[in-house]
Amino acid sequence: MDASVTSAEVAERVLGLVIKTTKRKTSEDYAVLVMNAILTRLKPSHPCIRFIKVQEVRYLEFGRLLTINPDLNTIPPAEVGATINDILTMVLAGLRKTAGYFLIKEVRDNLDTDTNDTLYTMGVDLNALQVAQEIKSKEPDPLSILPSDVVRRVLKTILSATEHLVSRDFAYTTLSSQLLLAREHYPFIEAITLNNIRLTLATDEVTVAEWINEVDPTHLGAALEHLILATYTQVTNRGETGFLKDFKAQLTTESLNKLQSYGVALAAPNSDTAEILYNVIHTVIDVLSTVTSLEYAVHAVNTFLHLPEERITILNSITIQTQQTSDGTITPLIPLLPNVSEIEARRAIHHLLETAVRSLGEKIGATFIADFQNTIDKQTLARIEDIGVNLHMLALYQQMRGHLTPPATVSNP
């Protein structure tokens, strides 16, 4: 090996060019995210990666994005070369074929002759990698589908799986509701239009604007995962099971692989406490809507959730909206809730029910807890008690509320 170019210098120049090229075509955050993910995955089989550090952009105030510890030079050059070769292979696997070809070309063309020669003696042949990518680019690429294609296929599959388990109207209403709710956190959802082809002249039930292809894949993946799990929750609340199994069965292997590359985890939430809290909120709305309008019931519950003097983080983060369905029915839109611990769920449920008891007028409040217990499904009621919510004590508090000074009641909007 040419002593004028060390293993550490080779690694720094090659990996630096890979990051530079990737961030120019995507973003610096994404380039760093990809490289760190690859390093983490390869570290068990290539221990010398401990000498390579890529700094996350958000923590980078001073210093360099890529740092190579000089101790990398103590590792046999062939081992370092094998590591670089595997890193390049994984980077190429995540790119479209033509993009991979030009990345290798750019790395090779921007390395000086000594570094190229040293890299070759370490077992990394950039010319061979480029030829392999050129050959690969002429083959059919099942993963060359655009993000807009992935989005369209996923949403159509959500509709199909939901329709199979419940109904077509429920599928359309649920997905359109979740798209509306998700826009607050994922503005690019504006690129998606859901068409109820039974009521409109549209030829396709899902249309996606091409500019969504410019969205960061990780952000797109987060939005798709949110929509999938939100629909899963809605279907499960109807007592139906098997949504995720049905959803995955209807997608092609290529689409599933693409979703995985976006970071989408197609698994049911690990905890049922979020679902319990969701059911509690929905039941409170149902109870109130029997004695007043649904719009006022939603307004009242939003007030309970956002009391400024009693901040419960998980409740403060929830805002319920309403939507009118195709048949004129008004339905509440409760966003998908994050997983919460049993302690957090107990505190949130107890706070919500106690606030309702204290804030409702005497006529409604007198029977609120009993009505709540009679309305909510028995399985959720049992789980509420399991996590420590004492409905009996709340009922006693309700009986004693005449001796207490209640806060101002919710005004009718």
- For residues 264 and 259, give the distance between their C-alpha atoms in angstroms, rounded to a whole number: 5
Give the containing element (helix H, strand E) for 207: strand 206-208
The phi and psi torsions of 321 (rounded to 5 degrees) equal -120, 175
The residues near 118 (Cβ < 8 Å, ≥ 6 apart) are 1, 2, 5, 10
CA-based Rg of the chain, rounded to a whole angstrom? 28
pLDDT at position 71: 93
Question: Who wins on pLDDT, 102 or 3?
Answer: 102
pLDDT at position 70: 92
pLDDT at position 49: 93
Structure tokens at 367: 């029977």
Is residue 29 scored above 80 in pLDDT?
no
Count the Cβ atoms, other than its own, within 10 Å of residue 329: 10
**Alpha carbon distances (Å) from 121 to 7, 48, 49, 116:** 11, 18, 20, 9
Give the containing element (helix H, strand E) for 205: none
The phi and psi torsions of 255 (rounded to 5 degrees) equal -70, -40
Instruction: Say whether 206 sits in a helix, a strand or coil.
Output: strand
- For residues 122 and 221, give the distance between their C-alpha atoms in angstroms, rounded to a whole number: 37
- Domain residue ranges in the chain: 7-137, 147-261, 273-403
pTM above 0.75, yes or no: no
Q: Measure the N-to-C terminal CA separation of the chain; round to a whole number of Å.
A: 79
- Runs of H (alpha helix) within 209-335: 217-237, 243-250, 253-261, 273-289, 294-305, 313-316
- Write out pLDDT tens, residues 282-319: 899 988 888 888 888 888 888 888 876 666 777 887 88
Question: Who wins on pLDDT, 269 or 333?
Answer: 333
